[in-house]
Homo-oligomer: A and B are copies of this chain.
Amino acid sequence: MKEYIYLNGSILPAQDARIHVSDLALIRGYGIFDFFRAIDGKPIFIEDHLDRFENSARLMALPIPESRDKLREIILEIIRLHPMPLLGIKMILTGGFSVDGYTPAAESNLIVMGKPFEFKPADVGMKLMSMEYRREIPEIKTLNYIVPIRALAKMKASGADDVLYHLNGNISESSRSNIFIIKNERIITPVDGALFGVTRKHVLNFAKKYFVVEERDISLQEYFEADEVFTTGSTKRIVAITQTDNHVFSEGKVGKITKKLQELFLDYEKLY
């Protein structure tokens, strides 16, 4: 399949989507992004992702060069050009071509790309490696992934699939997904230090019909004492965490409540 990328007003064959090296994301890391899925051509939770993208842009004082309607049209065109059962769509907004190499330009650069991807199987758990870290501006989906990418080798050496951030005794999130714990049939997820994930929001939304749900601080100790742990994200839906460091959760299997939530989520997502 031929791939296409939207760049600053044009949709180009993917290999031609090149940007001048004075872009402020490239030289100073200044930019934001968002990511979501299209299933059989239908974008999932697109308005939530546009909301968050606009919010990230506002918090970074980056003007979005297209209206929301026009941006939605671009996304739908990218989806149309990539007829796949499962497509990941990424929007990137950067500080533009900075004149002095530091100050954001009046016009941001906007990129929209589509790439096929696969979900992890829902019946397999992930293993996390805990690390002392908190994203600098957790409420913004910035481009800065230096610390977790730098930890990739250590993570792989320890057999982990991803990381668990904690700071000052409290957990916050994984590198690209939110964290929930289940204790005595209560479902608990952190607020401070975590990105407001779109899947997180929808899980909270339907889980509260079936369970007691709490959004509050979770200490590292409470985390390790959980009955079940799971992670949520646009590339994952709901995936069980069956191990963190040397501690195994729910006997290394997908826990009972996690499994229930996975089933409920699939039904819930179909309504969108």
With beta carbons under 8 angstroms apart, the residue of B7, B102, B149 that contacts A21 is B7
In the complex, which residues of chain B have a beta carbon less than 8 angstroms from the beta carbon of A15? 20
Please measure, in the bound complex, the distance between the C-alpha atom of A136 and the C-alpha atom of B94, giving whole angstroms.
21
CB-defined interface of A138-153 with B at 8 Å, one 1/0 digit per residue? Answer: 0000111111011011
- Is the Cβ of A149 less than 8 Å from the Cβ of B26? no
Given contact pairs A61-B153, A90-B101, A115-B101, A145 touches B18 in the complex (Cβ within 8 A): no
Q: Which A residues between 102 and 135 are near B, CB-CB below 8 angstroms?
A: 102-104, 111, 113, 115
In the complex, which residues of chain B have a beta carbon less than 8 angstroms from the beta carbon of A188? none
For residue A223, CB closer than 8 A to chain B, the reply is no
Give A214 Cβ to nearest chain B Cβ, in Å. 30
For residue A19, CB closer than 8 A to chain B, the reply is yes
- Is the Cβ of B113 less than 8 Å from the Cβ of A21? yes
Given contact pairs A30-B145, A101-B90, A61 touches B150 in the complex (Cβ within 8 A): yes
For residue A218, CB closer than 8 A to chain B, the reply is no
Give the residue name and chain of the B residue nearest to A92 (CB): B27
Give the residue name and chain of the B residue nearest to A60 (CB): B150
In the complex, which residues of chain B have a beta carbon less than 8 angstroms from the beta carbon of A28? 143-146, 149
In the complex, which residues of chain B have a beta carbon less than 8 angstroms from the beta carbon of A33? 27
In the complex, which residues of chain B have a beta carbon less than 8 angstroms from the beta carbon of A30? 145-146, 149
For residue A23, CB closer than 8 A to chain B, the reply is yes
Give A91 Cβ to nearest chain B Cβ, in Å. 11
For residue A137, CB closer than 8 A to chain B, the reply is yes
For residue A25, CB closer than 8 A to chain B, the reply is yes
Given contact pairs A101-B115, A137-B146, A17 touches B27 in the complex (Cβ within 8 A): no
For residue A86, CB closer than 8 A to chain B, the reply is no
Please measure, in the bound complex, the distance between the C-alpha atom of A190 and the C-alpha atom of B270, giving whole angstroms.
57
In the complex, which residues of chain B have a beta carbon less than 8 angstroms from the beta carbon of A95? 149
Give A8 Cβ to nearest chain B Cβ, in Å. 10
For residue A65, CB closer than 8 A to chain B, the reply is no
- Is the Cβ of A20 less than 8 Å from the Cβ of B17? yes
The 23 listed contacts between A and B (C-beta, < 8 Å) are: A19-B20, A19-B26, A23-B26, A25-B26, A26-B92, A26-B94, A27-B33, A27-B90, A27-B92, A27-B143, A28-B143, A28-B146, A28-B149, A29-B144, A29-B145, A30-B146, A101-B115, A102-B145, A104-B152, A136-B144, A136-B146, A136-B147, A137-B150
